[in-house]
Each structure stands twice: as C-alpha cells, then as structure tokens.
C-alpha cells in the first residue's frame, strides 16, 4: 500500500465512522477536513447534512462546520 492508498483508506474509515456515529467526534471531523481532497468534499458535506437531517436539534458547531465546508466547496 502506498501513501495515497493509505490516506484514502484512512479517510474512508473516518468518514464511515462519522456516518455511523449519532454524535460524531469533532476531532475526527477535523482530521477528515485536514486530509480531504477536493473530490471527496461533496461526499463529506452530504454525510454531515444527513447528520443534521436526523437530529431534531442539530448542534451549532455542526451547522457552522457545514457552512464553512460549503463555502470552501465554491
């Protein structure tokens, strides 16, 4: 496994954890953001939007994170 493959596996693993956890780790989400290539940004935003849609009272930090990512995706 080369470095690119390892990074992709690392990101996929963390993104799947965020998808599965009811309240995902802010540290893990930050790690994803720091390593995320532009082509995976829409998928990560979609995962976070699913979290917000599932939560009756989504957290302000989660909403701010999504807003920041959407702005970065422009």
What is the reported pLDDT for 65?
Answer: 97
Burial string for 24-58 (b: 16+ CB within 10 Å, else e) reads beeeebeebeeebeeeebeebbebbeebeeeeeee
Model pLDDT, residue 44: 97
Q: For residue 55, give its domain range.
A: 3-73
Write down the pLDDT at residue 33.
95
State the pLDDT at residue 73.
Answer: 84
Within the chain, which residues score under 50 in pLDDT? none
pLDDT for res 74: 82
- For the chain, how many structural domains are there in total? 1
């Amino acid at each position: 496994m080369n470095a690119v493959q390892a990074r992709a596996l690392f990101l996929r693993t963390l993104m799947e954890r965020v998808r599965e956890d009811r309240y995902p780790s802010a540290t893990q989400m930050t790690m994803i953001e720091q390593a995320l290539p532009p082509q995976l940004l829409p998928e990560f935003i979609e995962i976070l939007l699913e979290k917000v849609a599932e939560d009756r009272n989504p957290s302000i930090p989660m909403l701010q994170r999504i807003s920041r990512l959407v702005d970065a995706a422009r």
